[in-house]
Structure 1
Amino acid sequence: MKRNPNERIFNESIEFAKLLDAPRSTYLQWKSGISNPTLEKSFEIAKKLNKKITEIWHFE
């Protein structure tokens, strides 16, 4: 039986949200640009992803 591709995307977003220690709904708001994490949370995320904060976000 084939898996629904949307189910895979849904499951991946749940896992990534868990990695970021954020609710999935919050992660999806960040991803879509509806909202942004706090500066403190941004630094936490960058650290978890082993990235510089400027590699993830930029100021416009």
Structure 2
Amino acid sequence: MRRRLPSNWQTWGWPAILAVLTLAGLFMALLGNGDLSRTASWMALGTPLAVIAWKLYASRP
């Protein structure tokens, strides 16, 4: 019996979402003007780091 492989969305879905969020944060930081774009860019750029930290903490034995 062969094991079924995960689909491309299951494999690359969350990394693609985090990549788009990071790119949006970079564009907001470069092109934005004002406090709202600055805050949004910091949140968009900090989210992938928070996800990485959360996953590392959750995978500890």
TM-score normalised by L of structure 1:
0.31
- Between structures 1 and 2, the one with greater helix share: 2
The structure having more radius of gyration, on CA atoms, is 2
